[in-house]
Structure 1
Amino acid sequence: MSKLKVGVIGCGSISRYRHLPEYAANNLVEITAVCDIVELRADEMAEKYGAQAYTDYEKMLAEADIEIVSVCTPNYLHAPMSIAALNAGKHVLCEKPMATSQEDALAMIEAAKASGKKLMIAHNQRFVPSHAKARELIEKGEVGKIHSFRTAFGHPGPEGWSIDGKESWFFRKEEAFIGAMGDLGVHKTDLLRYLLGEEFVEVGAFVESSAKENSTVDDNAVCVLKSESGIVGTLAASWAYGREDNSTIIYGENAVLRLEDHPEYSLVVQYRNGETVNYELGKIQSNEDGGQNSTRVIETFVDSIVNDTVPPVNGEEGMKSLNVVLAALESSETKQIVQVKK
C-alpha cells in the first residue's frame, strides 16, 4: 500500500513536538508539505522532514500532493482552515479547541459530511493509558455508581511552550478567543465525557484573567459541572500553577480512582473495602517531556483513515467538549448557571 501523504499547516510548537514527529514515526504516512506564514519556520521544518515548504495554506491545498492535513494554527483559524481542507478533499486532524463557536464547529462537521472525509479533533487525553484503564474499570462496574469527580489541568503558562514565548498568540483574544479554558479546560471536558460515558448539562464557573500581564484571555478558571445523571464535580484550568498538574479523581460508591495523581503510579484504585491497587502504566505526555511520549493522536487518526472507521474524537465529539467550555465562559460572564448547548 502506498503511503498517505500529509501536509501540516502551522510550524509552531504543537506541530514540532507532536504532529510532525508522530507522523514521521508512522510508517503508513509521509510528510510531503508544511506551511507557515513565517517562511523561516516553514523552510526549517521542510528541510528537516524532506517536505515542500509553503507560506500560503490555500496554495498548499491547491498544489501539494496530500491526502491528510493537520491544522496546528491559532484557534480562530481552526474552522476556516479545516473547512477549506475538507472542501479540497483532504482528511483533517484539527488541534483543540476545534473552533471558537458552536456555529463554526457545526460548519466543520457539515464540511466533513459533504466531502466524505474524516475530521478528528486532537484531544489526546482519551489515549493516555491510565485514562483508558479507568474507563475500562468504570464500564465493568468495578467503581459502582459515580457520585463526583475533580479534575485539574494547570501549568505555568504557554509562554514556556509556545515558539513565540510571551509574545504568543495564546494571550491575544482576537486570535485565541479562549485562554486556559480553551488550551487546557477543553481537554478535561473531553476526558470527563469519555470517562463518565455521559454528557454535561449544566455549568457554573469562575473564569479569571489575573495571572498574566498583557493578556486579554482567561488564565485561571474553576468550574462546577453537572452531568445528565446528576454527577457533579469540579474542573480547574490554569496557567498560574508553578508545576504541571494533570490529575483527575473519580469518586464512586465502590472505589476512588486517582489518575495521574501519584509520582510513581499513573492510576491508583482505592477500594471501599480498604484494598488499594497501584498501576504503573507509563507517564502522561506533558509540555515538560519535550515531546518524548507519543500522544497516540496521529496513530489513531491514521488508523481511522486506513481502516475507514469513525475517528474516536470526531467533529461531533469535539463540539460537545467545546460546548461545555463555551457554557463556562457564559456562566462566568452572566454569573448564572448555564445550560450546555446540544
Structure 2
Amino acid sequence: MIADLNKDRPVRAALLGAGYIADWHAGAIQATPGVELVAVCDTSQAAATALAETYGIAPYTDLATMLDAGICDAVHIVTPPQTHRMLAETCLNAGQHVLVEKPVALSAEDTLAIHEAALANDRIFAAGHNFMGTPGYMRLRDAVEMGRVGCVAAAEINWHFPLAPLRSGPFGLWLLQEPRNLLLELGPHLFAFAVDLFGPLHIEHVSLSKPIAIPGDTTRPQSWRILATAGRVAVTINLSLVETMDDRSVTLHGSTATARLDYANDVLVIDAENAADIVANPFLRQMSLAGQHLREGMVNGVRQLVSLNRKSPYGLSFFGLTGAFYTAIRTGRPLDKRFSGDSAVAVMTAIDAALALLPKPEKKPKPATRKKPKPSVLIIGGTGFIGRDLTRAWVARGRDVRVLSRGQSGPFDDIADHVELFGASLSNPDQLAAAMDGIEIVYHLGKSLDATWDAALKNDVGVTETIARAANASGVARFIYTGTIASYDMSDPGVTITEQTGFADDMTDRNIYARSKAECEARLLEMHRKYALPLTIARPGIVVGKGGPLQHWGIGRWHGAGAVRIWGKGNHTLPFVLNEDVAEALILMAENDAAIGQSFNLVGEPMLSACDYFDAIHARLGARIKVKPGNLTAFYASASVKYALKKHVLRRGGLSNPSLADWKSRAHFSPFDNSLPKAVLGWAPEARRDVFLTKAIDEADLLGF
C-alpha cells in the first residue's frame, strides 16, 4: 500500500485545521516515532501562523498550495465536520493518507465515499475515534477476547459529561446548530466502542429528555437514551450533557464478570466472583477491586507525573490513534480495525439509524417582520454571554444591531429583522471598515486567550488597536471597550479599588489575560488622547445570570460540576454583578456624553462571598457542591514548579509565571467602590438580595435541569 514511501525518512504529516483539537493531534504526531510534523493549513492566516510558530512548522492558508508543494505524506483533517468529505477526498486523490477527526462525515453515505476514495487511491483512511486508543481500552478488548468476562449479555456505554455551551454559549457552534448535530458530534465515541467490541448495531429505540431552550432558536435535548442490539448483546447508550459528575464509561455484563472501563480516566476494573467460602468471598472480592483501583491509580499517576501530563488519558488516546495510523503507513499492514474505514462506515450507519428515529424537528422561530435591519450599533463579541444580553437590550430600545460573527447562524433568529450577522476578520482593516458602515456605536467585547505574551500582543492587543483605528476612521460616536477587573492588583483586603486606583506600572508578573487587557486599555487611552478616539472603558466584575456557567473560574478552580477549590478561604465578599445590569451599564455609557474618556468598574452591590454563593445554590437548587478553600501560596508554588519544568525540561518558550500577588488577586480580596458608574451614568445594579439570587441562580440554568 505504501511502496512509494521513502523508508529513509520520516513520514511527513500535516494538519488541516488549526483549532483547539489540532493541538492534541500535533502533540501526538510529535510523540510518534518515525513521523515528522511539517505543516498546518487553515483559512485563517492568524490561526495557521500561531500554530505553526508553536511547533516550528510551515503555515498555509490554501490546501491546494500545500498539496502542490509536495511536503507531506499524510494529512490530519481537523476542520468543521461539514467539510470533512470534500477535504478528505481532495487529499486522498492527491495521494495523501488521511486521518479524519470525528465525526468523520455527516452520514454513512459520505463516510463510505471517503472510504471508497481511499481504496481507489491505495491510501489509508483512519477515523478519529480516539478514545479507543487508550491502553485501558486495549486491555478491555483483550479481556473480552480471552474470555475473562465470559459471554457478554449486555453493555452500557455512557457519556455523562456537562456541555456548558448548551447553557452559556457560544450558540453559533456547529454542534448546536441542529439537534442532530449533538449526536453526530459525540455519538461516534460511543457507537465506535459497540461496533468494535460486538459488530454492527441494530438501533431499536431513541428517547430524548431534559430539553433546554437555545436563545433565538428551538430546544436541544440534553439527554439521549439509545437502545440497540449487536448480535446477542443488548446495548444501551446513554448521552447526558447536563451538569453531572463525569462518567464516561463502558460497562460489560458477562457470564463470568462485570468489566467497567472509565475511558476518560483510563481505569479498567473487572469484578468477578471467586471460589472462596461464603465468609471469605465478600472480603476477597472487595480486596480484588481495591487492588485493581490502587494499581490503576498508581500507574496513571506515575505516568502523568513523569510525562508532565503529556500522557494524560486524553493525550494517550490520541497517541494510540496516531500510532496505529502511522504503523499502518510505515509497514503496509492493514490499519487496526478500531480506526478502519469499514468501522467508520458501520459507526455512521448506526448513527444514521438513530437519527432516523428522532422526532420531527421544531420549526425555528421567525422574526415578526421580514424587514432588513438597518444597524447603528456594532457589537464585536455579540454572541457571547454579555453580548447576547446587550444585543437584545438594544433591540428592545428600538435600535438595530450588527453582530460580528464567524457564521451565519446565531442566537437571534427570533429577532433577525433587527439583528444583522456580519462576517469580518478582526485583523483586516478593509473588512472592519465595511462592518462599521452606518454604525454610530461600537462595542468591543472580544477577548483572546493566549498561552504566550507574544501571541497576546498579536491576537489581543494588535487586534484591538486595528478595531479601534477602523472605528475612528469611520467616525463612530462611541467606542466602548470591555477590559477586566482582573487587571487590578486585588491582593490586599485593606485597599478599596476605584477607577482612580490604576494598574501597576510593571505588569510582567501578572497572568497573560490580565496583562493583555491592561495593555489594550493603555493603547486605547493613548489613541483617545492623540486621535480623539471616543473611548469608554468598562470593567465587569464576576458576571452571573442566565446563560452564565456553573463552573465560573472567577470563583475558584473547578473539578467537574461537583467540586470547586475556592481562590482563598471564600468568606470575603466577591464583586458579583448580574449580566443584565452589565448590559444596562454598557447602554448608558453610549447614551451619556460624560462617559467619553472614562472607565467604569461594573461591580454590583456588595452581597455574597463565595461560600454564600454556593450555600445559595444548595438551598435553591438542592445541589451541594463540594467546596474547599484554596491555599493561594500553594497554588503559586505548584504553578512555579510546572513553569520551571515546562521551560527547562520541555524547552517551551514564551510562557509566563504569575507572581504570588497575581494568584492572590484571583481571590478578589480588595473590595470595590461602585459609586462612579452610579453617579455619572445613573446606573442602579440590583441591590435586593433575594431578587439577585433569583436571577443569578434560580433562572440561570446552572445545572441545565
Aligning the two structures, in what range does the TM-score lie when normalised by the shorter sequence?
Answer: 0.7 to 0.9
Q: Does 1:9 align with 2:13?
A: no
Distance 1:314 1:194 in 2: 10
| Count of matched residue pairs | 322
SS of the residue corresponding to residue 179 of structure 1 reads helix
1:211 and 1:239 in contact (8 A); partners too: no
Computing the radius of gyration over CA atoms, which structure comes out larger, 1 or 2? 2
Q: Deviations over 1:205-255 (max 9, x none)?
A: 1246824634776543110111122x1131112332434321121111111
Instruction: Give unmatched runs, 5+ long, in structure 1.
Output: 335-342
Distance 1:99 1:209 in 2: 27
Distance 1:262 1:315 in 2: 24
Matches of residues 1-342 of structure 1 in structure 2 within 5 Å? 1-16=8-23, 18-157=24-163, 159=165, 166-173=171-178, 178-196=180-198, 198-207=199-208, 210-211=211-212, 213-214=214-215, 219-229=222-232, 231-260=233-262, 266-273=267-274, 275=285, 276-277=288-289, 278=292, 280-281=295-296, 292=312, 293-295=315-317, 296-312=320-336, 313-333=339-359
Distance 1:237 1:87 in 2: 36
1:190 partner amino acid: A
Shift of 1:37: 1.8
1:98 and 1:105 in contact (8 A); partners too: yes
Distance 1:85 1:259 in 2: 35
2:352 partner amino acid: L
Change (3 A) 1:212 1:307: farther
1:134 and 1:195 in contact (8 A); partners too: no
Change (3 A) 1:156 1:306: same
Distance 1:219 1:235 in 2: 14
Distance 1:20 1:165 in 2: 25
Shift of 1:153: 1.3
1:11 and 1:35 in contact (8 A); partners too: yes
SS of the residue corresponding to residue 186 of structure 1 reads helix
SS of the residue corresponding to residue 247 of structure 2 reads coil
* RMSD, matched Cα: 2.9
2:326 partner amino acid: V
1:7 and 1:66 in contact (8 A); partners too: yes
1:223 partner amino acid: I
Match of 1:340 in 2: none
Shift of 1:59: 2.6
Distance 2:342 2:26 in 1: 25
1:180 and 1:237 in contact (8 A); partners too: no
1:8 and 1:35 in contact (8 A); partners too: yes
Higher RCO (Cα < 8 Å, 6 or more apart): 1
Distance 2:80 2:131 in 1: 20
Change (3 A) 1:106 1:158: farther
1:4 partner amino acid: V
Instruction: Give unmatched runs, 5+ long, in structure 2.
Output: 1-7, 275-280, 302-308, 361-705
Distance 1:58 1:208 in 2: 44
Q: Deviations over 1:125-158 (max 9, x none)?
A: 2222222212212111222211112111132227
1:212 and 1:219 in contact (8 A); partners too: no
SS of the residue corresponding to residue 33 of structure 2 reads coil
Change (3 A) 1:261 1:290: closer
1:181 and 1:219 in contact (8 A); partners too: no
Distance 2:92 2:172 in 1: 31
Distance 1:168 1:209 in 2: 20
Distance 2:82 2:221 in 1: 16
Match of 1:337 in 2: none
Distance 1:221 1:290 in 2: 32
Distance 1:324 1:149 in 2: 16
Shift of 1:117: 0.7
1:211 and 1:220 in contact (8 A); partners too: no
Distance 2:64 2:263 in 1: 44
1:178 and 1:218 in contact (8 A); partners too: no
Distance 1:129 1:87 in 2: 33
Distance 1:11 1:192 in 2: 30
Distance 2:144 2:15 in 1: 37
Q: Which runs of 4 or more aligned residues in structure 1 lie more than 6 Å from their structure 2 counterparts after TM superposition?
A: none
Distance 1:89 1:194 in 2: 28
Shift of 1:291: 7.7
Q: Deviations over 1:265-291 (max 9, x none)?
A: 81221113453452644559xxxx898
Shift of 1:62: 2.4
1:251 partner amino acid: H
Q: Deviations over 1:24-73 (max 9, x none)?
A: 22231222211112211100011112222112223322235111100001
% same residue: 24
Distance 2:42 2:344 in 1: 25
Distance 1:168 1:56 in 2: 23
Change (3 A) 1:227 1:299: same
Moved more, 311-320 or 208-217: 208-217
1:154 and 1:184 in contact (8 A); partners too: no
Change (3 A) 1:45 1:104: same
Change (3 A) 1:186 1:272: same
